[in-house]
Copies of this chain bind each other. A is one copy, B any other.
Amino acid sequence: MAAKRSGSRSKRSHRISEWPQPVQEPGSEPPLSRERIVATAVELLDAQGIDGLTMRRLADRLGSGVMSLYWHVDNKEDVFDLALDSVLEYRGPPQIVQYQDWRGEVVHMLEDWRASMLRHPWSASLLPRRALGPNILSRLELLSKTLSRAGVTDADLNVAIWSLWNYVMGATITRASFDLSHDDRAAAQQRLEHFSECYPTIERSRLLLDDDWDGAFSKGLGFLLDGLSPK
């Protein structure tokens, strides 16, 4: 369970320029940099979705030739890895640290994780197939520490972490990609009713119409934590 490819970093070795840049022309773009590329990639992904990110469009937005990107970045995969991790920083629990409240801490971090990903819907479906960047590892570390302090045994620890991971990823990916208009969902429910002999139970419970995603997420997370709690 690990990162996809090791981080073969690209050619350049970031020197810090120790003097004012060659006097920024008023209208012209700032020089290309890994940071600008990543930030612009996130913009583009937010605006156009996963298929909307192409190297050509990215270069366009940056006001450079396509091939200039490849000086700063290995390839398109690399851009995805960087954009993803850049979006998952965790600022920690709210101001007042409540000692002993391990459940509250876990819930806060995981709800924040989900919220961060939903702010950038492309990130959810990207995460499972990409390298684990520092921000992701920090969250896993925090989760691990909190659960361990809460009394989860070493034998259960990894299972607990991966269970929570699975739950959060599943919920977020699903939420991000099933995000439909009310009309679309009503249509789906109607198609379902058309087959009510086949699917009576989920038709009756209106499974496909339920749209309290946030509530369902918290409640389900509660169930899982109930099961994980040291007895």
Q: Mark interface residues in A183-226 (1 if CB within 8 Å of B CB, else 0).
A: 01101110110000011111001111111010010011011111
Q: Which residues of B contact A160 (CB under 8 A)?
A: 220, 223
A178 touches B1 (CB 8 A): yes
Q: How many copies does the complex hold?
A: 2
Binding site for B on A (CB under 8 A): 1-4, 6-7, 125, 128-129, 132, 134, 137-138, 140-141, 144-145, 148, 154, 156-163, 165-171, 173-174, 177-178, 180, 184-185, 187-189, 191-192, 198-202, 205-211, 213, 216, 219-220, 222-228
Offer 8 A-B interface pairs, CB within 8 angstroms, sorted by A: A6-B191, A158-B206, A159-B223, A161-B202, A169-B170, A169-B173, A223-B228, A225-B227
Give Cα distance in the complex from A201 to B145, angstroms.
Answer: 6
Give Cα distance in the complex from A165 to B159, angstroms.
Answer: 18
Q: Which residues of B contact A132 (CB under 8 A)?
A: 188, 208
A166 touches B161 (CB 8 A): no
Give Cα distance in the complex from A200 to B222, angstroms.
Answer: 27
Give Cα distance in the complex from A5 to B226, angstroms.
Answer: 37
